[in-house]
Amino acid sequence: MTQTEIRQTIFEALRKIAPESEPQQVGPNENLREALDIDSFDFLNFLIGLHQRLGVEIPEADYGKLTTLADLIRYIEARQ
């Protein structure tokens, strides 16, 4: 999967939990949760959505590494 495809998949998962949001407007190094007002419950649902779409396992210990869009793309790319 290319970076563009991963980005699109992330946006799809974000729109599922925040339908009114425009994740493509968020900068690659912005804090996603702050920018889109995502609480811990929705963040967990977002990770579940990514897992279901991409099959990537995300241990709880790694949550802290997944702050920005750039973090997420790097993380998923490395585990494909």
**φ and ψ at 68, to 5 degrees?**
-115, 170
Q: Which position among 11, 15, 16, 18 is part of the footprint of another protein (CB under 8 A)? A: 18
Q: Which position among 25, 41, 55, 78 is part of the footprint of another protein (CB under 8 A)? A: 41
Our CB check for another protein shows the closer of 2 and 41 to be: 41
Under the binding rule (CB under 8 A), the answer on residue 35 touching another protein is: no
Under the binding rule (CB under 8 A), the answer on residue 37 touching another protein is: yes
Phi-psi region of 17 (alpha: psi -120 to 50; beta: other; left: phi over 0): alpha
By three-state DSSP, how is residue 26 classified?
Answer: coil
Under the binding rule (CB under 8 A), the answer on residue 48 touching another protein is: yes
**φ and ψ at 19, to 5 degrees?**
-60, -30
